[in-house]
């Protein structure tokens, strides 16, 4: 049988999430003659490929797209809500599937709900679209302040970030005004309460369209005759020759056949758990690989907006049924108040905090505070030399411990979320809830960048793996700082920098 894969390309990209898509987009813009092959282990579940499933109008079709994203067992029938379900405490969100084993070592805290998505577009087909900029200690100093801000602006361009998608929401300003009165004192203008930057826009019909990898790829990539996306394609190994990346070994999940695709550059753009998995499986094992694993603990709370005059029912949106009552509000992270806060209408939240009030729709909002983790080299993902996962790749074991400082921050966050919630309205419950560790899906650090090859980082500031020319890593795992804000914008910005480096080398070698 003939292979559907090319024998050779200039750039092979493993993973179709926003960071991998950023590489394809920048290369299509800056090195348009370069041949690019993108490989995704999961199926195409939306049209165009990589589009957010929230844009699918039919609820049954949307649910099917979510189910098909839920990993190697996604074809199974039965009572499956959000992938593998072990207990009520181990339930994944629709469109994701849980790490079945190895999520917690005895005596450690672990990440009990560590989860993945396998589909074209990755987690960006299911995310909330929040794109805040990092602040204070979240920022990556080794890039330089001006350089980082320019890259973040490019990330916003690629993701289609806006702040006015919910501008006409009747309750949004009420929520922001009340939060500002409680939180803005002593803050600089850029860290005061404000609309959340969101990867969402309105189409010509006025309907909300949420960005997925399709928006990052853009027409310039889709129309690029030298770019090809291969779904249901499992990359099992990065090929290495003469101390540099030489291509990938890929298995067609439709036929089971394996092939080698030669490449001048390889970009591994999986999530923060599967990117180090592929490097490890390829025998690429720098000291920091898989280490400095960090997540963002999430504290949540729900309140009913006080003294509310009910809005007109026309606030209900069209195709996807998303209401537009209060939108999403942002309370930025600062080192003095070390939480990233977001307040959103219930149906925009991925966490089901309460049922909306049918008598006063939109009157209940959810608050979430995300906490940065103390970075530790001992927090890590390890891989087995013998056992394998559902894809036949090395099985994972997560080592993860909270520090005393982490617990102190959580306690402070619980008190702060109650204070902010009461400023908005009446709590539904006086006790905030801490989500199980791993629930944020914001895993970072396992292929972190650094200023030098000193054993504490995997890649350079250009995202190229130390001591292995031509191999780049991408995604949230590259972020080297402890962050509380949503990481997608930052990882796309870092991808822009890496893609520009590849484009420059391709053009120089012509």
* CATH code of the domain covering residue 341: 3.30.410
Give tens-digit pLDDT for 347-376.
Answer: 666 666 667 776 677 889 999 999 999 999
Per-residue confidence band for 316, with pLDDT thresholds at 50, 70 and 90: low
Residue 15 lies in a domain: yes
**Environment class of residue 145 by beta-carbon count within 10 Å: exposed (0-12), middle (13-18) or buried (19+)?**
exposed
% of the chain exceeding 70 in pLDDT: 91
Going by pLDDT thresholds of 50, 70 and 90, the confidence category of residue 85 is very low
The verdict on 338 and 285 lying in the same domain is: no
Q: What is the chain's mean pLDDT, rounded?
A: 92
Say whether both 412 and 276 belong to one domain: no
Q: Which of 394, 417, 436 is the last residue of a domain?
A: 436
- Give me the domain span that covers residue 8: 1-70+110-162+211-295+441-510
Taking alpha carbons only, the member of 295, 499, 504, 498 closest to residue 410 is 295
* 353 and 476 co-located in one domain: no
pLDDT of res. 267: 98
Residue 85 to residue 506: CA distance in whole angstroms: 46
Same domain for 150 and 187, yes or no, is no
**pLDDT band with cut points at 50, 70 and 90 for residue 73:** confident
Indicate whether 407 and 309 sit together in one domain: yes
Same domain, 353 and 303: yes
State the pLDDT at residue 10.
98
Shared domain for 320 and 234, answered yes or no, is: no
If asked whether residues 140 and 25 sit together in one domain, one would say yes
Residue 275, pLDDT > 50, answer yes
pTM assigned to the model: 0.95
Whether 95 maps to a domain, the answer reads no
Positions annotated as catalytic residues are: 442
Number of domains in the chain: 2
The arithmetic mean of pLDDT across residues 464-481, rounded, is 97
The DSSP code sequence of 9-67 is EEEEEE--SHHHHHHHHHHHHH-TT--EEEE-SS---SSSTT--GGG--SHHHHHHHHH
Where is pLDDT greater, at 311 or 504?
A: 504
Picking from 292-306, 310-324, 351-365, 460-474, which range would have the lowest pLDDT averaged per residue?
310-324
pLDDT at 199 over 60: yes
Looking at the structure, tell me whether residues 284 and 301 fall in a common domain: no
Strand partners, 294: 444
Asked if 264 and 218 sit in the same domain, the reply is yes
383-407 pLDDT tens trace: 999 999 999 999 999 999 999 999 9
Query: 139 and 5, same structural domain?
Result: yes
Tally of CB atoms within 10 A around 334? 18
Are the CB atoms for 14 and 39 separated by under 8 Å? yes
CATH code for the domain of 117: 3.50.50.60
Do both 355 and 496 map to the same domain?
no
In this prediction, residue 351 carries a pLDDT of 64
Q: Stretch 428-434: mean pLDDT, rounded? A: 90
Listed in order, strand segments (DSSP E) in 181-273 are: 194-195, 200-202, 208-210, 227-230, 233-241, 244-252, 258-268
* CA 17 – CA 273 distance, rounded (Å): 14
Query: Residue 409 falls within a domain, yes or no?
Result: yes
Lowest mean pLDDT among 1-5, 76-80, 441-445: 76-80
What is the average per-residue pLDDT within 210-227? 98
């Amino acid at each position: 049988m003939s292979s559907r894969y090319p024998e050779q390309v200039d750039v092979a990209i493993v993973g179709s999430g926003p960071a991998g898509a950023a590489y394809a987009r920048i290369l299509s813009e800056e090195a348009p003659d370069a041949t690019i092959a993108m490989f995704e282990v999961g199926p195409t579940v939306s049209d165009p490929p990589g589009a957010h499933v929230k844009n699918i109008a039919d609820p049954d079709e949307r649910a099917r797209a979510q189910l098909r994203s839920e990993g190697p067992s996604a074809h199974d029938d039965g009572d499956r809500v959000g992938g593998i379900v072990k207990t009520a405490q181990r339930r994944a969100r629709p469109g994701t599937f849980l790490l079945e084993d190895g999520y917690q070592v005895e005596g450690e805290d672990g990440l009990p709900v560590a989860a993945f998505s396998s589909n074209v577009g990755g987690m960006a087909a299911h995310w909330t679209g929040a794109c805040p900029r990092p602040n204070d200690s979240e920022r990556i100093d080794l890039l330089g302040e001006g350089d980082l801000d320019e890259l973040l602006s490019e990330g916003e361009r690629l993701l289609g970030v806006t702040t006015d998608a919910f501008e006409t929401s009747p309750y949004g300003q009420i929520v922001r005004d009340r939060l500002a009165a409680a939180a803005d004192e002593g803050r600089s203008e850029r860290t005061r309460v404000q609309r959340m930057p969101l990867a969402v826009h309105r189409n010509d019909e006025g309907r909300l369209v949420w960005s997925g990898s399709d928006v990052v790829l853009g027409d310039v990539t889709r129309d690029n005759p030298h770019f090809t996306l291969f779904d249901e394609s499992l990359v099992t190994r990065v090929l290495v020759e003469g101390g540099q990346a030489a291509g990938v070994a890929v298995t067609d999940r439709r036929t089971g056949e394996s092939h080698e695709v030669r490449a001048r550059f390889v970009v591994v753009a999986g999530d923060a758990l599967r990117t180090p998995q592929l490097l490890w499986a390829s025998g690429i094992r720098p000291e920091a690989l898989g280490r400095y694993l960090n997540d963002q603990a999430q504290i949540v709370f729900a309140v009913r907006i006080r003294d509310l005059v009910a809005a007109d029912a026309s606030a209900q949106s069209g195709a996807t049924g998303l209401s537009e009552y209060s939108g999403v509000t942002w309370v930025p992270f600062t080192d003095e108040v070390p939480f990233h806060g977001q307040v959103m209408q219930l149906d925009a939240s991925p966490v089901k905090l309460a049922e909306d009030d049918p008598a006063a729709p939109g009157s209940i909002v959810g608050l979430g505070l995300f906490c940065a983790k103390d970075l530790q080299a001992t927090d890590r993902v390890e891989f087995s030399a013998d056992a394998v996962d559902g894809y036949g790749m090395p099985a994972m074991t997560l080592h993860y411990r909270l520090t005393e400082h982490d617990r102190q921050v959580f306690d402070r966050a619980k008190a702060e979320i109650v204070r902010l919630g009461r400023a908005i309205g009446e709590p539904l419950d006086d006790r905030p809830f801490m989500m199980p560790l791993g629930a944020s899906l914001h895993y970072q650090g396992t292929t972190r960048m650094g200023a030098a090859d000193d054993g504490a980082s995997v890649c350079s500031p250009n995202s190229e793996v130390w001591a292995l020319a031509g191999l780049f890593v991408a995604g949230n795992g590259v972020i080297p700082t402890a962050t509380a804000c949503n990481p997608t914008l930052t990882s796309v910005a870092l991808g822009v920098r890496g893609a520009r480096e590849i484009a420059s080398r391709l053009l120089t070698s012509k």
